[in-house]
Structure 1
């Protein structure tokens, strides 16, 4: 889990976003070394803000119990990146291209 760096979401149906909080929390506790980035279409910032608000107390309790040296509070906060159509990720032979479809 500590190797998980980001999550790409295509749209905001609940079955596509419901596990974001658990992935963020579990990878943070496992020692993820950077903030989790949620990549998605316009509106992803609102979804991320909602998860950050929902998990704010939980993060605070964990940091108070385990200490900021073990659980860096900044790494438990999700970040968002809004993307449009086109290549959104290209590294190590992996290319992810975003395009609009009807769903």
Structure 2
């Protein structure tokens, strides 16, 4: 049984941040791939949802940053994951924008 108050090591935080980023980007790409296979209103909806999913993942990483900072833990790892996901969000947003305009 694990102890709830046991501090996590640096490797655990790094692994969790990397997994969080990879899963978030994976969901975003999966939604875009489904959108490419769709047509009509579903395609437009999924194209809008893909960047939103990445943004929600970035906001979740920012929340983890704040929680780790308040607990006195290694918040820097989560801040790095947050900035990375925010940059990927911008890439997704500008990548899907032209499709929505046409």
Greater C-alpha Rg = 2
TM-score (norm 2): 0.31
TM-score (norm 1): 0.31
Relative to its length, the structure with more helix (as a share) is: 2
